[in-house]
Amino acid sequence: MMMTLPLARRTPLDFVFAVLMLAAGGYAFARYGQYMDYYEHGILLGATLALVWFGWFWPAMRYFLPGAAVLALLGTSSYHGDLATAQHSFILKYFLASQSAVMWMCVLYFIATVVYWVGLVRRANTVLSIASGLTWTAALAALTAMLVRWYESYLIGPDVGHIPVSNLYEVFILFCLITTLMYLYYEARFKARTMGAFVLLVISAAVGFILWYSLDRQAHEIQPLIPALQSWWMKIHVPANFIGYGAFSLSAMLGVAWMLASPIERKPATRNTLHALALASVVLALAIGIYGASWFDISGAAAQLTMGGVLCGAVLLVIAAWPGVMAKSLPSPQVLEEVSYRAVSVGFLFFTIATILGAAWAADAWGGYWSWDPKETWALIVWLNYAAWLHVRLVKGWRGEVLAWWSVIGLAVTTFAFLGVNMFLSGLHSYGGL
Amino acid sequence: MRFAVSLLTVLAIASVIGTVLKQGEQYVDYRIEFGEFWFAIFKPVGLFDVYHTSWFLLILGFLVLSTTLCIWRHAPGMLRDIRGYRENATRNSLRLMAHNAEADGEVDRTAAQAYLRQAGYRWRILDKDGVWTLAAKKGVGQRLGYFFAHAAIVVICIGGLMDGNLPLKLRELVGNKVPETRDLPQSKVPAQSRLSPDNLSFRGNVTLPEGAVADVVFLNSGEGFFVQDLPFALRLKQFQVDYYSTGMPKRFASSIDVLDPQTGKVVKSGVVEVNKPLLYDGIAIYQASFGDGGSPLQLTGWHLNRPVSQKFEARSRSTQSIDLDGKAYTLEFGDLRVTNVENMGKNTPDQTSAVAVNKLEQALASSQSVKSTSTMRNLGPMIQFKLRDSSGQAVEYQNYMSPFLDDGALYLMTGVRKEINAPFQYVRIPLDDDMKVDTFMRLRDVMLDSSAWAEIAKRTTDKAFQGGGFTETKRAEFAAVTEMILKQFAQGGFPRIDAFIREKVPEDKRPSVAQTYLKILQGATVDAMDIAQQRAGLQAVAMSDTQYRFLMDSLVATSGFFEYGSPVYLQPSGFTEVKSSGFQLTRSPGKRVVYLGSILLVIGIFCMFYLREERIWLRSENGKTVLALTGNRRSADLESAFERHRAALLPATSKEEIAT
């Protein structure tokens, strides 16, 4: 029923929402239309219609989107056109300045993760619904932060202002937002709240990165756009990409949950081997953490991120040794698998679109739609990986363990394409170095 | 299928190698990086240009072929499926379907059709031998998705091959075309390394100084290059860089003319910017890079090794031989960079409280604001050049033209490095009140002039013993020490004095001796300055904080020049800027094909995942009606759909469900 939205089944609220969105789009056009080019007019129209569709498709958005808009408007109007207001205005300093909202987002995500796990372990529905509420609030903070940040960038300088999807820091917030929303959609659709314990783990990891990147590297500072990024393509290429990344992360975490939900017999010998491998991974991780920077000629931060990745691998090996230990707390493997599949199919569609948009942009900026740049090549590898995943599921009818693990590996490949390429390989696409 | 998957894996691995190994560099660099042995293995496999090797293209070609075959094989059956309604289904086959139900009684035929129309179905009715069958379908586009998606892959690959350099590779293989490896001016490049303007697709680069015209671009190819003749000529009128207030570049723009090659008439003018290429005659012109286009420079040179620093004026641009103090040098000018924005570090507010602020607290406080706190400063025009001696050893210099303001005082910066990629070591030459280096040079001459030392020492001693009361021996001793310090300093600056102290003074006394020496040297500098002014016939400069700082800075700079390694200091004094702009020109007829394929791909994937095929059969025979439903959705969704259909379509007296 996903795409069918017959008008007859619309509620009055749907139309109120649609009118609201159209009015907002019209107001934006009336006020800022003269500063936009034709492409941007097109994007504004497309975005307005997409928001209407989004609210109709997922009723919760009829409250969520206006809610974030109200908060963002409250924040931007509190500025009175001066960035320094944030220093003494109470509401900005503690809530609505983009950085304050980001901090709220971070804290809320961490708390939500813990609460989801408490709910999972104690099988308490009330606790889980609290966790769900916290996650909603975190997503609201994330969207508000992005909107306010967008406005703040123009306060720094009219020529500096740009949509906040231009560097690693900004897209990480976008990633948290998109992954959360996708998850919340499936949570409601499949009435399976315990999935949150796993999905929120990957979001928490992203939040940890945001905090480190901001506190240690001051990455939150808004920088003007370099000429290569001054393109309307950026406004659609990056968000499309992150719908893909978010969906792939979701499916990978559900893959892990699937393993823990599906009792599979393991021979003691297999179990021992897996334990040994996990131990070896821990040793390897520590070695990389300590010596990695000098071995591979990378920054200390990159080495530590790699260490974190290998440690995750160790945890996965232990999970592989004990499948099904959480079967009683988690939704049925069929549900997990179904959601995982849906996430991959959404992600695949948007990742395809994003890659195509990227190619079209590259044709404008670099003189060729495909240059075999490391980022492009890795995008292709990610695409081929999920294309293969979908093929074996749809054509060969594979299900279960192999696909669950494959989606986890898929996330590793995606993460490398997203972060690893920036850390280890050089190329044209070096907008988010570490 | 299995074969295709393994080929795909090979392709993926090759792609990974291509990202890890930097592609398309000069062969020399690879040879240095990997050594002869690995170079000899990697090169024939084509690892330095993986994506254009014949085996890579072959695998790609094979995959296109196998996808085509796959479409070919499945097409007829699928098309039949899409078109057909399967209205001939028998009662038994319907009852074998996953969702079916049977009821007594006849269907209300018009109501059923109205319901199906409302639900978006299309149907066909077969009324034969007393059996009434209605076969309905919707969402059959899902199967079309399969065609679109797979055809898209083929279309995209064809487009890619059109733009790939396959034809050129083939001609190279045959020996028809050979890349030029010599360093020749393009007009001398022979026909076997030139490509005609009719070349179907190419991607080449050319760099133009302002005012210059080019009618070729260069295509890199392994160890050499090809010259691609253009069907027009390109003239760079002006190149411009705009900056943000922070100093970051904001816009690179080249104003260009496209000229007719025969008549030289302007056929198109425009501005090329990053992200905004100019199209002419199917060729896209992109802004790719920029630099110095050979700006003529005026330089003031200072001979540093002569008894009296001598100024000389020079005008220069290209590499040239110069004779300095009897030794032959080659002066190799690099780029003139007019704007040099440097990050001067954090602009931290003064600490008002003496209490040390917790580091995390500080980080948290600074993370509050999205405004950058770094200070960017434009250090002005800078010229980089190399001075190579007769043995081929080169020292690299980086000299700024504008004074550098630091804490109220002005300096000229000159950087030096003796190893490639080492950071530059800067000498900061203090400027006098006229913003010139002359006063410093005068002072330096006196400090290094052995004949002046006795006089300096005398004056310093006189000042030190103004109060009197000391013996003549003490005075003589003091004068001797002063002269000795001056001598040491003149032989190698502070490091030399340091070495001297290490050599002569016991360890426990070194700090205090070093302090004394430094004081004496500072005192001597004041007197040296007076002598310098006297020699030049100028008035002595009154002592002040500024003057004292100038003298101390001069000491540091004089010391710094001992490590300078050049017999001259070349001070840039003026230039006429000529910028250059690098363009990439491409002709890629496959682009439209690739975009078409891309659109097909998105449509295809969308259809495959989001159109849900559903087929319904309603079969009435002998007062009994069978309803059956198939679809390719999750069974739970299909189940609820089936329940809806059953309620709407089957007669109300529906009895038991046969099976699910």
Measuring CA to CA, which residue among B64, B234, B41, B268 is closest to residue B154?
B64
Question: What letter does residue B192 receive in the DSSP assignment?
Answer: G
Residue B542 has pLDDT above 90, yes or no: no
Tell me whether A91 touches chain B (CB under 8 Å).
no
Radius of gyration of chain A (CA): 22
Which residues of chain A lie closer than 8 angstroms to B371, CB-CB?
83, 156, 221-222
Q: How far is A215 from chain B (nearest CA, A)?
A: 5
Q: What is the mean pLDDT of residues B182-209?
A: 88
Six-digit token string for B565? 């390694």
Residue A3 has pLDDT above 50, yes or no: no
| Model confidence band, residue A7 (pLDDT cutoffs 50, 70, 90) | low
| Model confidence band, residue B1 (pLDDT cutoffs 50, 70, 90) | low
Q: Which one has a higher pLDDT value, A64 or B168? A: A64
Question: What letter does residue B193 receive in the DSSP assignment?
Answer: G
pLDDT (tens digit, 9 = 90+) per residue, A279-312? 999 999 999 888 887 777 777 788 888 899 999 9
Which residues of chain B lie closer than 8 angstroms to A145, CB-CB?
none
Residue A434 has pLDDT above 70, yes or no: no
Note whether A368 and B159 are within 8 A (CB): no
DSSP assignments along A277-300, one per residue: HHHHHHHHHHHHHHHHHHHHT--H
Tell me whether B348 touches chain A (CB under 8 Å).
no
Partners of A394 in the β-ladder = none
29-58 of B, contacting A, C-beta below 8 A:
50-51
| The pairing of beta strand B327-337 with beta strand B320-324 | antiparallel
| Model confidence band, residue B656 (pLDDT cutoffs 50, 70, 90) | very low
Note whether B253 and B285 are within 8 A (CB): no
Give the model's pLDDT for residue A169: 93
Q: Which one has a higher pLDDT value, A184 or B374? A: A184
pLDDT (tens digit, 9 = 90+) per residue, B131-142? 889 999 988 888
Question: What letter does residue B107 receive in the DSSP assignment?
Answer: -
Quote the Cα angle for B129-B135-B141, to 5°: 155
Measuring CA to CA, which residue among B527, B521, B519 is closest to residue B543?
B527
Q: Do B602 and A372 touch (CB under 8 A)?
A: no
Six-digit token string for A400? 């279960």
CA distances from B402 to A48, B340, B498 (A): 52, 11, 33
Tell me whether B245 touches chain A (CB under 8 Å).
yes
Give the model's pLDDT for residue A315: 95
Number of A to B CB contacts under 8 A, please give it.
Answer: 149
- Which range has the top average pLDDT, A148-152, B509-513, B545-549? A148-152
Question: What letter does residue B401 receive in the DSSP assignment?
Answer: S
CA distances from A424 to A103, A217, A282, A296, A374 (A): 29, 18, 22, 9, 10
Q: Which one has a higher pLDDT value, A197 or B433? A: A197
Would the CA dihedral through A85, A88, A90, A94 be positive or negative?
positive
| φ, ψ of residue A174 in degrees (nearest 5) | -60, -40
* Gap between the Cα atoms of B618 and B136, Å rounded: 8
CA distances from A29 to A24, A35, A44, B280 (A): 9, 9, 8, 33
pLDDT (tens digit, 9 = 90+) per residue, A121-130? 999 999 999 9
Q: Which one has a higher pLDDT value, A132 or B654? A: A132
| The pairing of beta strand B579-587 with beta strand B202-209 | antiparallel
Note whether A170 and A149 are within 8 A (CB): yes
What CATH class does B89-138+617-660 carry?
A: alpha beta
Mean pLDDT of chain B: 84
Question: Does an H or E element contain B414, and which?
Answer: strand B409-417
Tell me whether B602 touches chain A (CB under 8 Å).
yes
Measuring CA to CA, which residue among B90, B18, B49 is closest to residue B619?
B90
* Gap between the Cα atoms of B374 and B376, Å rounded: 6
Tell me whether B18 touches chain A (CB under 8 Å).
yes
Partners of B316 in the β-ladder = B297
Six-digit token string for A259? 């393993």
Question: Does an H or E element contain A91, and which?
Answer: helix A90-91
pLDDT (tens digit, 9 = 90+) per residue, B40-95? 888 777 777 777 777 888 888 888 888 899 889 988 988 888 888 888 888 888 88
Give the model's pLDDT for residue B658: 44
417-436 of B, contacting A, C-beta below 8 A:
none
| Model confidence band, residue A102 (pLDDT cutoffs 50, 70, 90) | very high
| Model confidence band, residue B316 (pLDDT cutoffs 50, 70, 90) | low
Helix (H, G, I), strand (E, B), or coil: what is residue B24? coil
Residue A159 has pLDDT above 50, yes or no: yes
* Gap between the Cα atoms of A79 and A93, Å rounded: 11
Tell me whether A264 touches chain B (CB under 8 Å).
no
Q: What is the mean pLDDT of residues B172-185?
A: 84
Which residues of chain B lie closer than 8 angstroms to A247, CB-CB?
none
Complex prediction ipTM: 0.90
Any idea of the CA torsion for A203, A204, A207, A213, to the nearest 10 degrees?
A: -120
Give the model's pLDDT for residue B353: 41
Q: Do B367 and A218 touch (CB under 8 A)?
A: yes
Give the model's pLDDT for residue A8: 63
| φ, ψ of residue A152 in degrees (nearest 5) | -60, -35
Tell me whether A158 touches chain B (CB under 8 Å).
no
pLDDT (tens digit, 9 = 90+) per residue, B222-268? 678 899 999 999 999 999 989 887 778 899 999 999 999 889 899 99
Q: Which one has a higher pLDDT value, B296 or A250? A: A250
pLDDT (tens digit, 9 = 90+) per residue, A245-255? 999 999 999 99
162-201 of B, contacting A, C-beta below 8 A:
163
* Gap between the Cα atoms of A258 and A400, Å rounded: 8
Q: Which one has a higher pLDDT value, B319 or B274? A: B274
Give the model's pLDDT for residue B355: 44
* Gap between the Cα atoms of A277 and B190, Å rounded: 61
Q: What is the mean pLDDT of residues B459-481?
A: 82
Measuring CA to CA, which residue among A121, A109, A353 is closest to residue A242?
A353
Q: What is the mean pLDDT of residues B588-614?
A: 91
Task: Spell A23-36 as b/e; 16+ CB within 10 A means b.
Answer: eebeeebeeeeeee
Six-digit token string for B193? 């390394």
Residue B531 has pLDDT above 80, yes or no: yes
Note whether A128 and A194 are within 8 A (CB): yes
Q: What is the mean pLDDT of residues B489-505?
A: 90
Give the model's pLDDT for residue A246: 97
Give the model's pLDDT for residue A163: 93
Helix (H, G, I), strand (E, B), or coil: what is residue B421? coil
Partners of B587 in the β-ladder = B202
Tell me how far apart the 2 most distant CA atoms of chain B are, in Å.
145
* Gap between the Cα atoms of B462 and B478, Å rounded: 10
pLDDT more than 70, % of chain B: 92
| φ, ψ of residue B547 in degrees (nearest 5) | -65, -40
Give the model's pLDDT for residue A332: 92
Give the model's pLDDT for residue B354: 40
Tell me whether B591 touches chain A (CB under 8 Å).
yes
Helix (H, G, I), strand (E, B), or coil: what is residue B606? helix
Rounded to the nearest angstrom, the gap between the alpha carbon of residue A13 and the centroid of all alpha carbons in its chain is 29
Give the model's pLDDT for residue B351: 41
Give the model's pLDDT for residue A431: 55
Give the model's pLDDT for residue B345: 66
Residue A262 has pLDDT above 90, yes or no: yes
Q: What is the mean pLDDT of residues A329-333?
A: 92
pLDDT (tens digit, 9 = 90+) per residue, A12-42? 999 999 999 999 999 999 999 999 989 999 9
Question: Which residue reads 């005609």 in tokens?
Answer: B196
Which residues of chain B lie closer than 8 angstroms to A85, CB-CB?
none
Which runs of consecutive H residues, i.e. helices, occur in B263-409?
359-366
pLDDT (tens digit, 9 = 90+) per residue, B209-226? 999 999 999 988 767 889
Question: Which residue reads 């990974």 in tokens?
Answer: B16
* Residues forming CATH 3.30.160 domain(s) in chain B: 89-138+617-660
pLDDT (tens digit, 9 = 90+) per residue, A225-246? 988 888 889 989 999 999 999 9
Give the model's pLDDT for residue B201: 87
Question: Which residue reads 């896209």 in tokens?
Answer: B284
Residue B350 has pLDDT above 50, yes or no: no
Q: Which one has a higher pLDDT value, B543 or A409? A: A409
Measuring CA to CA, which residue among A68, A42, A168 is closest to residue A423?
A168
| Model confidence band, residue B356 (pLDDT cutoffs 50, 70, 90) | very low
pLDDT (tens digit, 9 = 90+) per residue, A418-430? 888 877 776 656 5
pLDDT (tens digit, 9 = 90+) per residue, B559-572? 988 888 778 888 88
Residues in Cβ contact with B343 at an 8 Å cutoff, skipping those fewer than 6 apart: B374, B375, B376
Tell me whether A374 touches chain B (CB under 8 Å).
yes
Residue B287 has pLDDT above 80, yes or no: yes
pTM for the full model? 0.85
Q: Is A123 left (phi over 0), alpha (psi -120 to 50) or beta?
A: left
Chosen from A106, A337, A372, A426 to mutate, greatest number of chain B CBs within 10 A: A372
- From the CB of residue A346, how many other CB atoms can be counted at a distance below 10 Å? 23
